[in-house]
Chain A
Amino acid sequence: MKNLMLCTLGLLFTLNCLSQTSNEKNTQKEFMYFVYSDGNRVTDLSSQKQQLHIKKIGDYIQNLAKSGKLKDAQPLEMEGVLIGSKKGNFNEKSLNKDKKIISGYYHILANDMKEAIAIAKADPRFEEDGWEIMIRPIKKVKGIN
C-alpha cells in the first residue's frame, strides 16, 4: 500500500513537472540573434585557434539545444548579394566582406528580452574581440507566420 502511494505521488510529481515545462515552452518568445563581425574573425585565427573557437561555439549551441532554448543556429558564408529595386528595375551589389557583416545567426526561445540578452552574453565568442550580437524579437503577423 505504502509503495503504491509512493508510486502515485511520484507519477503526480512527474506529470506536474512535465506540465510546467510545457507551459514554459508555450509562454516563451522567439528571438533572432544576428551575429556581426568585422570581416571574417575566424579565418584570421590560426588553425588551432579556429578549431578551439568551433569547439566552444559547438558546445554552447549543444547546451542551448539541451535546455530547449535553441530552434536553429547556422554560420553564413562571407559572400552574398544585396538586391535592390528602383522603379521596377533590380540592381545587384556584391557584399563587402571586409566590413561589418552578419556571419551567422541563432533562432532562440526565451521568456523575455532580459533572458535573451543573458543567453547572448554567455556566447563564448565574446572571449575574442570583434563580435556583436543583435537581438531582435520575432513578430507574429497573421497570414505570414
Chain B
Amino acid sequence: MKEFMLFIKSEGNPIADFSPEQQQEHVQKVGGFIKKMMENGHMKSAQPLEMEGSIVSFKNGKHIDGPFNETKEIISGYYHLLAKDLKEAIEIAKEDPRFEDGDWKIEVRPVMNVDGIN
C-alpha cells in the first residue's frame, strides 16, 4: 500500500448557507465515510482546518510572515490515505459524500519516500 495526501479544497465554505440541521447531516455523512475508511484500513488520519492561518516566506535576507487571506481556493481539510496506487486513491476520493453537498475539489498527491526524511 502507498501513502497519499488528499487536500480538500473549496471556494469559501460550500455549506455556509446550509441550515444547522443540513450542516449536521453533512458532518455525519463525512464522518461516516471517514469511519468506514478507517475501519477498512484505507485512512490513516483526517482533519478539518480552521479558516485562518499565517504564511511564512523569506525574501531579501529576512523572514516575512503575514495573515493567510486566500480569497479563492482554500484547503479546508485533509485525508491521509493508504491505497494501492493513484487510481485507487482517486476512486476513494470520489466516494467522499461531500461531493453531494456543493462545489468541492480534492487534490490527490502521492507521498514521496526520501531517505533521511521519512
Contacts and interface: CB of A to CB of B under 8 A. Distances in A.
A75 B113 CA distance: 7
A30 B94 CA distance: 27
B46 A80 contact: no
Interface of A: 30, 32, 34, 54-55, 57-58, 61, 72-77, 79-86, 90, 92, 95, 102, 105, 113, 116-117, 120-121, 126, 129, 131-139, 141-145
A55 B117 CA distance: 8
Interface string B77-118: 110100000100010011000010001111111111011111
Given A113-B54, A136-B49, A73 B27 contact: no
A114 to B, nearest CB: 9
6 contacts: A102-B107, A120-B65, A133-B56, A136-B49, A136-B68, A145-B46
Contact of B104 (A85, A92, A135): A85
A81 B107 contact: yes
B41 interface: no
Contact of A138 (B47, B57, B90): B47
Interface in B19-60: 27-28, 30-31, 34, 45-50, 52-58
Contacts of B118: 73-75
A133 B63 CA distance: 11
